[in-house]
Amino acid sequence: MVSKDLFAYVSTRLKQIKGIDLPFGGMSVLAVGDFFQLPPVRQSKPLCVYDPTRLDHWRDNFKKITLTDIMRQKDDAAFAEVLNRLRVKDRSRELSEPDASLLATRYASPVTCPKNILHIFATNKQVDGHNSAMLNLLHKDVVQIDADDYKKDKKTGRMARQATPVRGPKNGLPDSIKVAVGARVMITRNIDVQAGLCNGTFAKVVQLVNYPNEARVQKLGLELDCVAKTRSAENSVFIDRQEERMQNTGVVRRQFPVKLAFACTIHKVQGMTTSEAAVSLKGVFEHGMGYVALSRVTSLSGLHILHMDERKIHANPEITAALAEMTEDSLDGVMPLFHVMPRVDKAKDLIVVHHNTEGLSCHVQDIACHHELRFADVLCLTETHLRGSAAACLEGYTMFHRNRSDSYTTCPDLATKPGGGVGICVKSHIAAQEKKYVQGVTDIEFVAVKLEAPINLLIAAVYRPPGHSLRAFLPSLGNLLRYLEVMDHHQILVCGDFNEDALSASYKPVLELFCSKGYTQLITTATTDKNTLIDLIFVSRPQCALYSGVLQTYYSYHNPVFCVLNTERVSFIWRKQFDPQWRPEVNILHKDLEDAKTSSVDQ
Protein backbone atom coordinates (compact mmCIF):
# COMPACT_ATOMS: atom_id res chain seq x y z
CA MET A 1 0.00 0.00 0.00
CA VAL A 2 3.08 2.28 -0.19
CA SER A 3 2.96 4.65 -3.17
CA LYS A 4 5.92 5.58 -5.39
CA ASP A 5 5.71 9.19 -4.17
CA LEU A 6 5.96 8.13 -0.52
CA PHE A 7 8.83 5.77 -1.32
CA ALA A 8 10.68 8.58 -3.11
CA TYR A 9 10.07 10.88 -0.13
CA VAL A 10 11.61 8.29 2.23
CA SER A 11 14.67 8.08 -0.02
CA THR A 12 15.03 11.87 -0.15
CA ARG A 13 14.81 12.25 3.62
CA LEU A 14 17.41 9.53 4.19
CA LYS A 15 19.75 11.28 1.75
CA GLN A 16 19.37 14.46 3.78
CA ILE A 17 19.82 12.71 7.12
CA LYS A 18 22.85 10.63 6.08
CA GLY A 19 24.42 13.32 3.88
CA ILE A 20 25.02 10.76 1.12
CA ASP A 21 23.71 11.25 -2.42
CA LEU A 22 22.79 7.62 -3.01
CA PRO A 23 19.31 6.02 -3.07
CA PHE A 24 18.03 5.90 0.52
CA GLY A 25 21.20 7.63 1.69
CA GLY A 26 23.23 4.48 1.02
CA MET A 27 21.29 2.54 3.66
CA SER A 28 20.17 -1.07 3.26
CA VAL A 29 16.41 -1.29 2.75
CA LEU A 30 14.42 -4.46 3.34
CA ALA A 31 10.93 -4.19 1.82
CA VAL A 32 8.54 -6.88 3.03
CA GLY A 33 5.04 -7.37 1.71
CA ASP A 34 2.70 -8.89 -0.85
CA PHE A 35 1.94 -6.85 -3.97
CA PHE A 36 -1.04 -9.12 -4.75
CA GLN A 37 -2.87 -7.64 -1.79
CA LEU A 38 -4.36 -4.13 -1.70
CA PRO A 39 -2.81 -1.46 -3.95
CA PRO A 40 -1.72 2.03 -2.86
CA VAL A 41 -4.47 4.56 -2.27
CA ARG A 42 -5.49 7.26 -4.76
CA GLN A 43 -5.01 5.03 -7.82
CA SER A 44 -1.20 5.07 -7.56
CA LYS A 45 0.62 2.20 -9.27
CA PRO A 46 2.22 -0.44 -7.00
CA LEU A 47 5.93 -0.02 -6.35
CA CYS A 48 6.92 -2.96 -8.53
CA VAL A 49 5.02 -1.64 -11.58
CA TYR A 50 7.07 0.88 -13.56
CA ASP A 51 5.46 4.29 -14.00
CA PRO A 52 7.37 6.76 -16.23
CA THR A 53 5.42 9.68 -14.73
CA ARG A 54 6.75 9.00 -11.21
CA LEU A 55 10.23 8.89 -9.68
CA ASP A 56 10.99 5.16 -9.52
CA HIS A 57 13.26 3.83 -6.74
CA TRP A 58 12.19 0.22 -7.10
CA ARG A 59 13.24 -1.12 -10.49
CA ASP A 60 16.99 -0.52 -10.20
CA ASN A 61 17.46 -1.11 -6.47
CA PHE A 62 15.51 -4.21 -5.45
CA LYS A 63 15.60 -7.95 -6.03
CA LYS A 64 12.97 -10.39 -4.85
CA ILE A 65 13.13 -13.32 -2.47
CA THR A 66 9.96 -15.41 -2.27
CA LEU A 67 9.07 -16.66 1.20
CA THR A 68 7.47 -20.09 1.20
CA ASP A 69 6.36 -20.85 4.78
CA ILE A 70 2.71 -19.91 5.35
CA MET A 71 2.12 -18.82 8.93
CA ARG A 72 -1.50 -17.67 9.13
CA GLN A 73 -2.99 -20.95 7.78
CA LYS A 74 -0.09 -23.20 8.81
CA ASP A 75 -2.48 -25.67 10.46
CA ASP A 76 -4.83 -25.91 7.46
CA ALA A 77 -2.69 -26.77 4.44
CA ALA A 78 -5.61 -27.45 2.07
CA PHE A 79 -7.12 -24.02 2.74
CA ALA A 80 -3.71 -22.36 2.39
CA GLU A 81 -3.21 -23.94 -1.04
CA VAL A 82 -6.61 -22.69 -2.22
CA LEU A 83 -5.78 -19.16 -1.03
CA ASN A 84 -2.45 -19.29 -2.87
CA ARG A 85 -4.33 -19.96 -6.10
CA LEU A 86 -6.88 -17.23 -5.41
CA ARG A 87 -4.02 -14.79 -4.72
CA VAL A 88 -2.73 -14.93 -8.31
CA LYS A 89 -6.01 -15.71 -10.10
CA ASP A 90 -6.54 -13.96 -13.43
CA ARG A 91 -9.87 -12.13 -13.86
CA SER A 92 -10.77 -14.17 -16.96
CA ARG A 93 -10.06 -17.54 -15.35
CA GLU A 94 -12.75 -19.46 -13.48
CA LEU A 95 -12.15 -21.23 -10.21
CA SER A 96 -11.33 -24.90 -10.51
CA GLU A 97 -14.13 -27.23 -9.52
CA PRO A 98 -12.33 -28.51 -6.39
CA ASP A 99 -11.58 -24.95 -5.21
CA ALA A 100 -15.11 -23.76 -5.88
CA SER A 101 -16.56 -26.80 -4.09
CA LEU A 102 -14.33 -26.26 -1.05
CA LEU A 103 -15.34 -22.61 -0.72
CA ALA A 104 -19.01 -23.54 -1.24
CA THR A 105 -18.93 -25.53 1.98
CA ARG A 106 -18.52 -22.21 3.84
CA TYR A 107 -21.46 -20.34 2.31
CA ALA A 108 -23.73 -18.83 4.96
CA SER A 109 -26.76 -16.57 5.19
CA PRO A 110 -27.10 -13.44 7.38
CA VAL A 111 -29.69 -15.35 9.44
CA THR A 112 -27.55 -18.38 10.26
CA CYS A 113 -24.18 -16.60 10.45
CA PRO A 114 -22.90 -15.97 14.02
CA LYS A 115 -23.64 -12.37 15.04
CA ASN A 116 -20.72 -11.95 17.43
CA ILE A 117 -17.91 -12.46 14.92
CA LEU A 118 -16.14 -9.87 12.80
CA HIS A 119 -17.90 -9.08 9.53
CA ILE A 120 -15.81 -7.90 6.57
CA PHE A 121 -17.30 -5.77 3.78
CA ALA A 122 -16.00 -3.89 0.76
CA THR A 123 -17.42 -0.41 1.46
CA ASN A 124 -17.83 1.94 4.40
CA LYS A 125 -21.58 2.14 3.71
CA GLN A 126 -21.97 -1.62 4.22
CA VAL A 127 -19.82 -1.47 7.39
CA ASP A 128 -21.77 1.44 8.90
CA GLY A 129 -25.08 -0.28 8.24
CA HIS A 130 -23.99 -3.51 9.90
CA ASN A 131 -22.44 -1.71 12.87
CA SER A 132 -25.61 0.26 13.58
CA ALA A 133 -27.80 -2.84 13.24
CA MET A 134 -25.61 -4.92 15.59
CA LEU A 135 -25.38 -2.16 18.20
CA ASN A 136 -29.17 -1.90 18.39
CA LEU A 137 -29.66 -5.67 18.25
CA LEU A 138 -27.09 -6.68 20.88
CA HIS A 139 -27.21 -3.70 23.29
CA LYS A 140 -30.01 -1.78 24.96
CA ASP A 141 -28.31 1.08 26.81
CA VAL A 142 -26.87 2.87 23.81
CA VAL A 143 -25.19 6.22 24.51
CA GLN A 144 -24.50 8.91 21.93
CA ILE A 145 -21.27 10.81 22.53
CA ASP A 146 -21.10 14.13 20.71
CA ALA A 147 -17.81 15.79 19.92
CA ASP A 148 -16.83 18.77 22.09
CA ASP A 149 -16.25 21.53 19.53
CA TYR A 150 -14.64 24.77 20.70
CA LYS A 151 -14.63 28.05 18.83
CA LYS A 152 -13.37 31.50 19.75
CA ASP A 153 -16.13 33.77 21.07
CA LYS A 154 -15.96 37.10 19.25
CA LYS A 155 -17.04 39.02 22.34
CA THR A 156 -14.79 37.47 24.97
CA GLY A 157 -11.98 36.18 22.76
CA ARG A 158 -12.09 32.88 24.62
CA MET A 159 -12.63 29.40 23.24
CA ALA A 160 -16.22 28.38 24.01
CA ARG A 161 -17.77 24.93 23.70
CA GLN A 162 -20.48 24.82 21.06
CA ALA A 163 -23.96 23.53 21.89
CA THR A 164 -23.84 21.03 19.04
CA PRO A 165 -20.92 19.74 17.00
CA VAL A 166 -20.34 21.16 13.55
CA ARG A 167 -20.08 18.94 10.50
CA GLY A 168 -16.50 17.66 10.41
CA PRO A 169 -14.34 16.22 7.62
CA LYS A 170 -14.77 12.61 6.56
CA ASN A 171 -11.42 11.41 7.88
CA GLY A 172 -11.38 13.51 11.06
CA LEU A 173 -12.60 12.73 14.55
CA PRO A 174 -16.32 11.85 14.28
CA ASP A 175 -19.12 14.35 14.92
CA SER A 176 -20.73 11.80 17.23
CA ILE A 177 -20.39 8.14 18.10
CA LYS A 178 -22.88 5.67 19.53
CA VAL A 179 -21.53 3.10 21.97
CA ALA A 180 -22.65 0.82 24.77
CA VAL A 181 -20.93 -1.20 27.46
CA GLY A 182 -19.91 -4.44 25.77
CA ALA A 183 -19.82 -2.96 22.27
CA ARG A 184 -17.00 -3.78 19.87
CA VAL A 185 -14.91 -0.76 18.84
CA MET A 186 -11.70 0.06 17.02
CA ILE A 187 -9.21 2.79 17.94
CA THR A 188 -8.60 5.10 14.96
CA ARG A 189 -5.63 7.15 16.19
CA ASN A 190 -2.22 6.39 17.72
CA ILE A 191 -2.68 7.31 21.39
CA ASP A 192 0.05 5.29 23.13
CA VAL A 193 1.70 2.77 20.81
CA GLN A 194 3.79 1.17 23.58
CA ALA A 195 0.62 0.40 25.51
CA GLY A 196 -1.11 -1.00 22.43
CA LEU A 197 -3.37 2.04 22.00
CA CYS A 198 -2.79 2.55 18.29
CA ASN A 199 -4.71 2.90 15.06
CA GLY A 200 -6.43 -0.38 14.18
CA THR A 201 -6.51 -1.86 17.69
CA PHE A 202 -9.75 -3.71 18.49
CA ALA A 203 -11.34 -3.45 21.92
CA LYS A 204 -14.51 -3.86 23.93
CA VAL A 205 -16.11 -1.00 25.84
CA VAL A 206 -16.24 -1.94 29.52
CA GLN A 207 -17.04 1.38 31.19
CA LEU A 208 -18.27 4.91 30.49
CA VAL A 209 -17.01 7.56 32.93
CA ASN A 210 -18.93 10.85 33.03
CA TYR A 211 -17.72 14.28 34.04
CA PRO A 212 -18.62 15.09 37.70
CA ASN A 213 -22.25 16.23 37.89
CA GLU A 214 -22.68 16.01 34.11
CA ALA A 215 -24.31 13.49 31.80
CA ARG A 216 -21.36 13.83 29.45
CA VAL A 217 -18.73 11.13 28.92
CA GLN A 218 -15.23 12.10 30.06
CA LYS A 219 -13.38 8.77 29.66
CA LEU A 220 -13.88 5.45 27.90
CA GLY A 221 -12.81 2.23 29.61
CA LEU A 222 -11.58 -0.31 27.05
CA GLU A 223 -10.44 -3.91 27.19
CA LEU A 224 -7.98 -4.39 24.35
CA ASP A 225 -8.16 -7.61 22.35
CA CYS A 226 -4.37 -7.93 22.34
CA VAL A 227 -4.19 -8.03 26.15
CA ALA A 228 -7.67 -9.29 27.00
CA LYS A 229 -6.32 -12.47 28.59
CA THR A 230 -4.38 -10.52 31.21
CA ARG A 231 -6.80 -7.66 31.84
CA SER A 232 -10.16 -7.39 33.55
CA ALA A 233 -12.78 -4.65 33.84
CA GLU A 234 -11.15 -3.48 37.09
CA ASN A 235 -7.84 -2.68 35.43
CA SER A 236 -8.96 -1.69 31.95
CA VAL A 237 -7.31 0.99 29.86
CA PHE A 238 -9.00 4.37 30.06
CA ILE A 239 -8.67 6.81 27.20
CA ASP A 240 -9.43 10.54 27.03
CA ARG A 241 -10.78 12.60 24.20
CA GLN A 242 -8.17 13.52 21.61
CA GLU A 243 -7.84 17.04 20.25
CA GLU A 244 -7.85 17.96 16.58
CA ARG A 245 -7.94 21.35 14.85
CA MET A 246 -10.45 21.47 11.99
CA GLN A 247 -9.02 23.26 8.98
CA ASN A 248 -10.57 26.54 7.73
CA THR A 249 -13.25 26.65 10.43
CA GLY A 250 -11.41 27.86 13.51
CA VAL A 251 -12.92 24.93 15.43
CA VAL A 252 -10.95 22.73 17.80
CA ARG A 253 -12.58 19.33 18.26
CA ARG A 254 -12.24 16.97 21.22
CA GLN A 255 -13.60 13.50 20.66
CA PHE A 256 -12.80 9.84 21.37
CA PRO A 257 -10.87 8.30 18.45
CA VAL A 258 -13.00 5.17 18.24
CA LYS A 259 -15.57 3.69 15.89
CA LEU A 260 -17.86 0.70 16.09
CA ALA A 261 -16.15 -2.47 14.90
CA PHE A 262 -18.71 -5.24 14.64
CA ALA A 263 -17.69 -4.95 11.00
CA CYS A 264 -14.72 -3.48 9.11
CA THR A 265 -13.78 -2.75 5.54
CA ILE A 266 -11.41 -5.05 3.66
CA HIS A 267 -8.86 -2.22 3.58
CA LYS A 268 -8.95 -1.92 7.37
CA VAL A 269 -8.38 -5.63 8.04
CA GLN A 270 -5.35 -6.09 5.77
CA GLY A 271 -2.64 -7.49 8.02
CA MET A 272 -5.15 -8.83 10.56
CA THR A 273 -5.35 -12.46 11.66
CA THR A 274 -8.51 -13.81 13.28
CA SER A 275 -9.87 -17.26 14.01
CA GLU A 276 -13.36 -16.55 12.65
CA ALA A 277 -14.94 -13.97 10.33
CA ALA A 278 -17.89 -13.45 8.00
CA VAL A 279 -16.96 -12.14 4.55
CA SER A 280 -19.03 -10.49 1.85
CA LEU A 281 -17.53 -9.90 -1.60
CA LYS A 282 -20.45 -7.74 -2.68
CA GLY A 283 -19.19 -4.37 -3.87
CA VAL A 284 -15.52 -5.39 -4.24
CA PHE A 285 -13.97 -2.82 -6.59
CA GLU A 286 -10.18 -3.42 -6.69
CA HIS A 287 -7.60 -6.06 -7.50
CA GLY A 288 -6.63 -8.14 -4.46
CA MET A 289 -9.63 -7.23 -2.30
CA GLY A 290 -11.32 -10.61 -2.64
CA TYR A 291 -8.16 -12.51 -1.72
CA VAL A 292 -7.44 -10.26 1.29
CA ALA A 293 -10.98 -10.64 2.62
CA LEU A 294 -11.00 -14.46 2.40
CA SER A 295 -7.49 -14.94 3.79
CA ARG A 296 -7.82 -13.23 7.19
CA VAL A 297 -8.91 -16.40 9.01
CA THR A 298 -6.55 -19.12 10.20
CA SER A 299 -8.64 -22.05 8.93
CA LEU A 300 -11.45 -22.85 6.54
CA SER A 301 -13.75 -23.74 9.45
CA GLY A 302 -13.54 -20.15 10.69
CA LEU A 303 -14.69 -18.66 7.37
CA HIS A 304 -18.34 -17.72 6.73
CA ILE A 305 -19.02 -16.45 3.18
CA LEU A 306 -22.13 -14.24 3.06
CA HIS A 307 -21.87 -13.22 -0.57
CA MET A 308 -19.63 -15.05 -3.06
CA ASP A 309 -18.77 -13.76 -6.51
CA GLU A 310 -15.67 -15.39 -7.99
CA ARG A 311 -15.43 -12.61 -10.58
CA LYS A 312 -14.44 -10.31 -7.71
CA ILE A 313 -11.36 -12.44 -6.99
CA HIS A 314 -8.59 -11.36 -9.33
CA ALA A 315 -4.96 -10.30 -9.31
CA ASN A 316 -3.55 -7.22 -11.01
CA PRO A 317 -2.00 -8.43 -14.31
CA GLU A 318 0.53 -5.57 -14.19
CA ILE A 319 1.85 -6.96 -10.90
CA THR A 320 2.02 -10.47 -12.31
CA ALA A 321 4.11 -9.20 -15.22
CA ALA A 322 6.31 -6.93 -13.08
CA LEU A 323 7.18 -9.66 -10.55
CA ALA A 324 7.94 -12.08 -13.39
CA GLU A 325 10.52 -9.61 -14.72
CA MET A 326 12.16 -8.91 -11.34
CA THR A 327 15.54 -10.50 -10.66
CA GLU A 328 15.25 -13.40 -8.25
CA ASP A 329 17.69 -13.27 -5.35
CA SER A 330 18.63 -16.00 -2.90
CA LEU A 331 19.50 -16.25 0.76
CA ASP A 332 21.83 -19.18 0.16
CA GLY A 333 24.98 -17.04 0.20
CA VAL A 334 23.76 -14.39 2.64
CA MET A 335 24.17 -16.38 5.85
CA PRO A 336 26.63 -19.18 5.05
CA LEU A 337 27.61 -19.93 8.63
CA PHE A 338 23.98 -19.93 9.73
CA HIS A 339 23.20 -22.54 7.08
CA VAL A 340 26.29 -24.57 8.00
CA MET A 341 25.55 -24.69 11.75
CA PRO A 342 23.14 -27.67 11.60
CA ARG A 343 26.05 -29.74 10.24
CA VAL A 344 28.60 -28.49 12.77
CA ASP A 345 29.44 -30.86 15.62
CA LYS A 346 30.03 -28.55 18.59
CA ALA A 347 32.05 -31.22 20.38
CA LYS A 348 34.45 -31.83 17.48
CA ASP A 349 34.42 -28.71 15.27
CA LEU A 350 35.93 -25.30 15.90
CA ILE A 351 34.58 -22.11 14.28
CA VAL A 352 37.13 -19.37 13.60
CA VAL A 353 36.06 -15.92 12.33
CA HIS A 354 38.21 -12.99 11.26
CA HIS A 355 36.70 -9.51 11.16
CA ASN A 356 38.15 -6.07 10.46
CA THR A 357 35.91 -4.09 12.83
CA GLU A 358 37.06 -0.56 11.93
CA GLY A 359 36.90 0.23 15.64
CA LEU A 360 36.04 -2.39 18.26
CA SER A 361 34.82 -0.07 21.02
CA CYS A 362 32.08 1.49 18.88
CA HIS A 363 31.02 -1.86 17.38
CA VAL A 364 31.26 -4.26 20.31
CA GLN A 365 27.46 -4.34 20.69
CA ASP A 366 27.02 -4.85 16.94
CA ILE A 367 29.35 -7.86 17.14
CA ALA A 368 27.64 -9.25 20.24
CA CYS A 369 24.24 -9.09 18.51
CA HIS A 370 25.35 -10.35 15.10
CA HIS A 371 23.39 -13.46 14.14
CA GLU A 372 26.52 -15.32 12.89
CA LEU A 373 29.49 -13.82 14.75
CA ARG A 374 28.00 -15.17 17.99
CA PHE A 375 28.73 -18.72 16.71
CA ALA A 376 32.50 -18.09 16.68
CA ASP A 377 34.64 -20.13 19.08
CA VAL A 378 37.58 -17.89 18.15
CA LEU A 379 37.03 -14.35 16.91
CA CYS A 380 40.11 -12.71 15.37
CA LEU A 381 39.88 -8.94 15.08
CA THR A 382 41.88 -6.34 13.16
CA GLU A 383 41.71 -2.56 13.23
CA THR A 384 40.52 -2.64 16.84
CA HIS A 385 41.66 1.00 17.33
CA LEU A 386 42.34 0.25 21.01
CA ARG A 387 44.79 2.31 23.04
CA GLY A 388 46.68 1.61 26.25
CA SER A 389 45.43 -1.31 28.29
CA ALA A 390 41.75 -0.69 27.48
CA ALA A 391 39.93 -3.61 25.89
CA ALA A 392 36.33 -3.79 24.70
CA CYS A 393 35.49 -7.23 26.04
CA LEU A 394 32.85 -9.53 24.60
CA GLU A 395 30.85 -11.46 27.17
CA GLY A 396 31.81 -15.13 27.26
CA TYR A 397 35.23 -14.59 25.66
CA THR A 398 38.81 -14.14 26.84
CA MET A 399 40.53 -11.44 24.81
CA PHE A 400 44.20 -11.20 23.85
CA HIS A 401 45.08 -7.96 22.08
CA ARG A 402 48.01 -5.90 20.92
CA ASN A 403 47.77 -2.20 20.15
CA ARG A 404 49.43 -0.48 17.23
CA SER A 405 51.79 1.50 19.49
CA ASP A 406 53.29 -1.77 20.78
CA SER A 407 53.84 -3.27 17.33
CA TYR A 408 56.50 -1.11 15.66
CA THR A 409 60.14 -0.67 16.67
CA THR A 410 61.73 0.99 13.66
CA CYS A 411 58.63 2.64 12.18
CA PRO A 412 57.76 5.51 14.56
CA ASP A 413 55.42 7.10 12.02
CA LEU A 414 53.23 4.00 12.06
CA ALA A 415 53.54 3.49 15.81
CA THR A 416 52.05 6.92 16.54
CA LYS A 417 49.42 6.88 13.82
CA PRO A 418 45.83 6.41 15.10
CA GLY A 419 43.96 3.18 14.34
CA GLY A 420 45.28 -0.33 13.76
CA GLY A 421 45.53 -2.91 16.49
CA VAL A 422 44.73 -6.61 16.56
CA GLY A 423 43.04 -9.01 18.95
CA ILE A 424 41.89 -12.59 19.38
CA CYS A 425 38.80 -13.44 21.45
CA VAL A 426 38.57 -17.07 22.58
CA LYS A 427 35.48 -18.67 24.12
CA SER A 428 35.98 -18.87 27.87
CA HIS A 429 35.76 -22.67 28.04
CA ILE A 430 38.71 -23.10 25.64
CA ALA A 431 42.21 -23.23 27.16
CA ALA A 432 44.37 -20.63 25.42
CA GLN A 433 47.79 -19.08 25.89
CA GLU A 434 49.15 -15.96 24.18
CA LYS A 435 52.63 -16.06 22.61
CA LYS A 436 53.85 -12.56 23.39
CA TYR A 437 57.54 -12.46 22.58
CA VAL A 438 58.64 -13.61 19.15
CA GLN A 439 62.25 -13.02 18.20
CA GLY A 440 62.82 -11.15 14.94
CA VAL A 441 59.19 -10.07 14.62
CA THR A 442 59.29 -6.34 15.33
CA ASP A 443 57.48 -4.27 12.75
CA ILE A 444 54.16 -6.02 12.26
CA GLU A 445 50.76 -5.80 13.95
CA PHE A 446 49.96 -9.30 15.12
CA VAL A 447 48.78 -11.36 18.06
CA ALA A 448 49.39 -15.12 18.35
CA VAL A 449 47.50 -17.55 20.59
CA LYS A 450 47.91 -21.27 21.16
CA LEU A 451 44.75 -23.28 21.86
CA GLU A 452 45.38 -26.34 23.99
CA ALA A 453 41.94 -27.87 24.53
CA PRO A 454 39.80 -29.19 22.95
CA ILE A 455 42.12 -28.69 19.95
CA ASN A 456 45.84 -28.05 19.52
CA LEU A 457 45.89 -25.05 17.23
CA LEU A 458 48.09 -22.00 16.67
CA ILE A 459 46.22 -18.90 15.57
CA ALA A 460 47.70 -15.57 14.54
CA ALA A 461 45.79 -12.42 13.55
CA VAL A 462 47.72 -9.97 11.37
CA TYR A 463 47.04 -6.47 10.09
CA ARG A 464 49.04 -4.70 7.42
CA PRO A 465 48.16 -0.99 7.11
CA PRO A 466 47.92 0.37 3.54
CA GLY A 467 50.90 2.64 4.25
CA HIS A 468 53.18 -0.15 5.48
CA SER A 469 55.61 -0.99 2.66
CA LEU A 470 55.96 -4.59 1.57
CA ARG A 471 59.75 -4.22 1.83
CA ALA A 472 59.40 -3.77 5.60
CA PHE A 473 56.36 -5.99 6.11
CA LEU A 474 57.35 -9.19 4.32
CA PRO A 475 60.54 -9.95 6.34
CA SER A 476 58.61 -9.60 9.62
CA LEU A 477 55.78 -11.76 8.28
CA GLY A 478 58.31 -14.37 7.17
CA ASN A 479 59.90 -14.40 10.63
CA LEU A 480 56.46 -14.83 12.20
CA LEU A 481 55.63 -17.81 9.99
CA ARG A 482 59.00 -19.45 10.74
CA TYR A 483 58.38 -19.02 14.47
CA LEU A 484 54.93 -20.56 14.23
CA GLU A 485 56.31 -23.47 12.21
CA VAL A 486 59.11 -24.45 14.61
CA MET A 487 57.04 -23.83 17.70
CA ASP A 488 54.56 -26.65 17.13
CA HIS A 489 53.67 -29.37 14.61
CA HIS A 490 49.91 -28.94 14.94
CA GLN A 491 47.52 -27.02 12.69
CA ILE A 492 48.44 -23.34 12.13
CA LEU A 493 45.89 -20.71 11.09
CA VAL A 494 46.89 -17.16 10.13
CA CYS A 495 44.19 -14.66 9.27
CA GLY A 496 43.94 -10.93 8.84
CA ASP A 497 43.63 -7.93 6.59
CA PHE A 498 46.76 -7.85 4.43
CA ASN A 499 45.61 -5.06 2.07
CA GLU A 500 46.59 -7.21 -0.91
CA ASP A 501 43.73 -8.03 -3.26
CA ALA A 502 43.78 -11.77 -3.88
CA LEU A 503 41.33 -11.29 -6.78
CA SER A 504 43.54 -8.92 -8.75
CA ALA A 505 45.70 -10.06 -11.65
CA SER A 506 48.76 -8.19 -10.35
CA TYR A 507 51.71 -9.67 -8.47
CA LYS A 508 50.77 -10.81 -4.94
CA PRO A 509 53.88 -11.18 -2.76
CA VAL A 510 51.98 -11.84 0.49
CA LEU A 511 50.04 -14.73 -1.06
CA GLU A 512 53.26 -16.04 -2.64
CA LEU A 513 55.04 -16.02 0.73
CA PHE A 514 52.30 -18.08 2.37
CA CYS A 515 52.23 -20.54 -0.54
CA SER A 516 55.98 -20.99 -0.31
CA LYS A 517 55.50 -22.03 3.34
CA GLY A 518 52.87 -24.62 2.41
CA TYR A 519 49.77 -22.65 3.44
CA THR A 520 46.42 -22.71 1.63
CA GLN A 521 44.21 -19.61 1.39
CA LEU A 522 40.53 -20.51 1.99
CA ILE A 523 38.54 -17.42 1.00
CA THR A 524 37.61 -17.02 -2.66
CA THR A 525 35.04 -14.18 -2.86
CA ALA A 526 35.25 -10.43 -2.23
CA THR A 527 35.23 -9.16 1.36
CA THR A 528 34.88 -5.37 0.92
CA ASP A 529 32.40 -2.89 -0.48
CA LYS A 530 34.74 -2.37 -3.45
CA ASN A 531 34.71 -6.08 -4.34
CA THR A 532 38.29 -6.69 -3.25
CA LEU A 533 39.51 -9.76 -1.37
CA ILE A 534 41.90 -8.48 1.29
CA ASP A 535 40.61 -10.35 4.37
CA LEU A 536 42.20 -13.78 4.21
CA ILE A 537 42.47 -17.07 6.11
CA PHE A 538 45.57 -19.24 5.63
CA VAL A 539 45.79 -22.78 7.05
CA SER A 540 48.74 -25.15 7.13
CA ARG A 541 46.56 -28.26 6.69
CA PRO A 542 43.51 -27.50 4.47
CA GLN A 543 42.16 -31.04 4.84
CA CYS A 544 41.08 -30.10 8.35
CA ALA A 545 38.89 -27.24 7.10
CA LEU A 546 35.30 -28.39 6.59
CA TYR A 547 33.71 -25.10 5.52
CA SER A 548 34.76 -21.52 4.80
CA GLY A 549 33.20 -18.38 3.40
CA VAL A 550 32.29 -14.72 3.77
CA LEU A 551 29.71 -13.31 6.22
CA GLN A 552 28.03 -9.90 6.04
CA THR A 553 27.77 -6.88 8.33
CA TYR A 554 26.06 -3.54 8.02
CA TYR A 555 28.52 -1.41 10.02
CA SER A 556 31.98 -2.11 8.54
CA TYR A 557 33.57 -1.67 5.12
CA HIS A 558 34.91 -5.22 5.60
CA ASN A 559 32.81 -8.38 5.72
CA PRO A 560 33.96 -11.08 8.18
CA VAL A 561 35.42 -14.37 6.93
CA PHE A 562 35.14 -17.76 8.63
CA CYS A 563 36.26 -21.36 8.57
CA VAL A 564 35.20 -24.48 10.44
CA LEU A 565 37.99 -26.85 11.51
CA ASN A 566 37.46 -30.46 12.51
CA THR A 567 39.44 -31.21 15.69
CA GLU A 568 39.55 -34.97 15.10
CA ARG A 569 41.15 -34.50 11.70
CA VAL A 570 43.71 -32.11 13.15
CA SER A 571 44.68 -34.68 15.79
CA PHE A 572 44.61 -37.62 13.34
CA ILE A 573 46.80 -35.94 10.70
CA TRP A 574 49.33 -34.70 13.24
CA ARG A 575 49.71 -38.08 14.98
CA LYS A 576 49.88 -39.92 11.68
CA GLN A 577 52.76 -37.69 10.55
CA PHE A 578 54.75 -37.24 13.74
CA ASP A 579 54.00 -40.16 16.09
CA PRO A 580 55.34 -43.48 14.65
CA GLN A 581 54.11 -45.39 17.72
CA TRP A 582 50.49 -44.32 17.27
CA ARG A 583 47.93 -46.61 15.68
CA PRO A 584 44.38 -45.42 15.01
CA GLU A 585 41.50 -46.96 16.92
CA VAL A 586 39.12 -49.15 14.97
CA ASN A 587 36.39 -46.53 15.02
CA ILE A 588 38.50 -44.03 13.02
CA LEU A 589 37.16 -43.76 9.48
CA HIS A 590 40.43 -43.97 7.48
CA LYS A 591 38.79 -43.58 4.08
CA ASP A 592 36.83 -40.51 5.17
CA LEU A 593 39.97 -38.85 6.48
CA GLU A 594 42.04 -39.71 3.43
CA ASP A 595 39.30 -38.47 1.11
CA ALA A 596 39.13 -35.26 3.09
CA LYS A 597 42.69 -34.42 2.03
CA THR A 598 41.59 -34.09 -1.59
CA SER A 599 38.12 -32.64 -1.03
CA SER A 600 37.16 -29.05 -1.82
CA VAL A 601 37.88 -26.74 1.09
CA ASP A 602 35.72 -23.78 0.22
CA GLN A 603 32.21 -25.26 0.29
The pLDDT assigned to 499 comes to 96
> What is the average pLDDT score of the chain?
89
| Structural contact between residues 380 and 459, judged by C-beta atoms closer than 8 angstroms | yes
Query: Containing H/E element for 8?
Result: helix 4-18
pLDDT in tens, 435-459: 887 777 888 999 999 998 767 899 9
pLDDT in tens, 249-291: 889 999 999 999 999 999 999 989 999 999 999 999 999 999 9
Q: How many CB atoms lie within 10 A of CB 72?
A: 17
Helices (H), 424-508: 470-487
Task: Say if residue 114 is preceded by a cis peptide, omega within 30 of 0.
Answer: no
Q: What is the pTM of this model?
A: 0.68
Is residue 601 predicted with pLDDT exceeding 60? no
The pLDDT assigned to 247 comes to 82
Q: Give the Cα separation of 116 and 278 in Å (integer).
A: 10
Q: Give the Cα separation of 358 and 381 in Å (integer).
A: 9
| Structural contact between residues 296 and 274, judged by C-beta atoms closer than 8 angstroms | yes
pLDDT in tens, 7-48: 999 999 999 999 999 999 988 899 999 999 998 877 778 999
Residues of the chain with CATH 3.60.10.10: 336-598
Percent of the chain, pLDDT > 90?
A: 71
pLDDT in tens, 79-98: 999 999 999 999 999 999 99
Distance of CA 293 to the CA centre of its chain: 27
CATH ID of 336-598, from 3.40.50.720, 3.30.300.30, 3.40.1710.10, 3.60.10.10? 3.60.10.10
> What's the alpha-carbon Rg for the chain, to the nearest Å?
33
Tell me the mean pLDDT in the region 179-192. 94
Is residue 388 predicted with pLDDT exceeding 60? yes
